[in-house]
Amino acid sequence: MDFDVQRVGFADLPGWADDNPAPLLAALERCRRHVTEIKPYKTGAFGLATADLMPAFEAARSVETSDAGAARAFFEAQFVPFRIVRADGEAGFVTAFYEPDVFVSAVADETYRYPFYRRPLDLVDVDETNRPSDLDAYFAFGQERADGIGEYPDRKAIEQGYLEGRGLEIAYARSLVDVFFAHVQGAARLVYPDGSVRRITYAAKTGHPFSAVGKLLIERGAIDAATVSMQSIRQWLADHPDEAQSVLWHNRSFIFFREAEVSDPALGPVAAAKVPLEPGRSLAVDRIIHTFGVPFFIASDSLTHIDGGRPFRRLMLALDTGSAIVGPARGDIFTGSGDEAGRLAGSVRNAATFFVLIPKAAATRYGHG
């Protein structure tokens, strides 16, 4: 692995004594129910398995508290913190994501014209057991054809009508840009004309690599790299309607959704870990390296706008992943749902220190336990 971990104490976590990780206790219980009732999480390359986490999952069931001190004591009793050290010596890096509200209609008309699609039947998972020799190793999805599996049509082909007539439409939005950013976030709250709200979340994708349109606009000199944000990208697209679609087509990756209701409106959408996200406390991580359900403490001196001007120091739970989240100390912070959460998420691009909390029984595998 291209990183190491160094054992530290909880007193070495910047701001640990002031953090309130109580919301994560309920999140641990949601993870426990999923792994016991459905299936364990896949173990990442770092080697922490669901079995390693189970003692903490079980112990969390008996801790019902909103008291910050008691919550910190729980994590101190169950885990050992380790600082993640990248081999290249560089700091970790965080961005943020949120669940947007998108105004939609169940039927298409002149106003509502841009569909959210369910997963097509001819989209298949691809791994080393069925991957054709001419399909790039990056692709985790492909198209099942009469002559074998091939690359699925991309964003441009789909938005030009490739999937029309299959009955895959979940709902229709008023704005192609709204649909695109829901793809980037991987989830959305759909707001219908009668005021009802339904949720959708990631189901699959075409398999093409994610290409950031912000990077493209920076390279073209259209947006300043020092001030780029989701808001500035959306503004540029709004100001250049004749160019917007071709810029969006630069990202060939296309996302398919499924309906996923969440009974508690205070929680976020059901994400890759198959449980609802805890707003402000959920982290998307590199799924190849890390295992869902693992706690991480994130500290960033430069990220201040999320916590009212204070440096970000917060215990979080790995509950999601994403194409752009690559590396051992790379994370995406879930800020919540709606416009305010989007405002908070849109400008997060900050260096950060990552600490992984390893269950005590497993800590001996990663240094002196």
* Same-domain pairing of 17 and 159: no
Cα(206)–Cα(28) distance, rounded to whole angstroms? 31
Check whether 88 has a pLDDT greater than 70.
yes
The predicted-structure confidence for 45-67, as pLDDT tens digits, reads as follows 999 999 999 999 999 998 878 89
* Same-domain pairing of 195 and 319: no
Classify burial at 111, counting beta carbons within 10 Å of its beta carbon; exposed 0-12, middle 13-18, buried 19 or more: exposed
Give Cβ neighbours of residue 27 (< 8 Å, ≥ 6 apart). Answer: 275, 278, 281, 282, 317, 319
* Same-domain pairing of 216 and 135: yes
Report the Cα 58 to chain-centroid distance in Å. 25
* Same-domain pairing of 74 and 179: no
State the residue range of the domain holding 242.
Answer: 99-259
Query: What is the average pLDDT across 26-44?
Result: 97
Give Cβ neighbours of residue 76 (< 8 Å, ≥ 6 apart). Answer: 10
- Domain final residue, candidates 232, 259, 286: 259
What is the largest distance, in Å, between two alpha-carbon atoms of the chain?
65
Residue 327's pLDDT is 96
**Alpha-carbon separation of residue 178 from 149, 188, 238, 366 (angstroms):** 31, 10, 11, 44
- pLDDT bin (cut points 50, 70, 90) of residue 369 is very low
Q: What is the CATH number of the domain that holds 80?
A: 2.40.40.10
Check whether 1 has a pLDDT greater than 80.
no
* Same-domain pairing of 240 and 356: no
- Domain final residue, candidates 206, 228, 259: 259
Give yes or no for a contact between 152 and 143, defined as CB atoms under 8 angstroms apart. Answer: yes
* Same-domain pairing of 310 and 293: yes
Give yes or no for a contact between 314 and 282, defined as CB atoms under 8 angstroms apart. Answer: no
* Same-domain pairing of 206 and 218: yes
Query: What is the average pLDDT across 313-342?
Result: 96
* Same-domain pairing of 119 and 253: yes
- Domain final residue, candidates 239, 259, 279: 259
Residue 367's pLDDT is 67
* Same-domain pairing of 87 and 159: no
* Same-domain pairing of 229 and 294: no
* Same-domain pairing of 124 and 137: yes
The predicted-structure confidence for 176-228, as pLDDT tens digits, reads as follows 999 999 999 999 999 999 999 999 999 999 999 999 999 999 999 999 998 88
Q: What is the CATH number of the domain that holds 177?
A: 2.40.240.50
Give Cβ neighbours of residue 69 (< 8 Å, ≥ 6 apart). Answer: none
Query: What pTM value is reported for the model?
Result: 0.91
* Same-domain pairing of 239 and 273: no
Give yes or no for a contact between 248 and 240, defined as CB atoms under 8 angstroms apart. Answer: no
Mean residue pLDDT of the chain comes to: 95
Give the DSSP letter string of 39-105: -PPPPPTT---HHHHHHHHHHHTT-----HHHHHHHHHHHEEEEEEEETT---EEEEEEEE-EEEEE
- Structural domains of the chain, count: 2
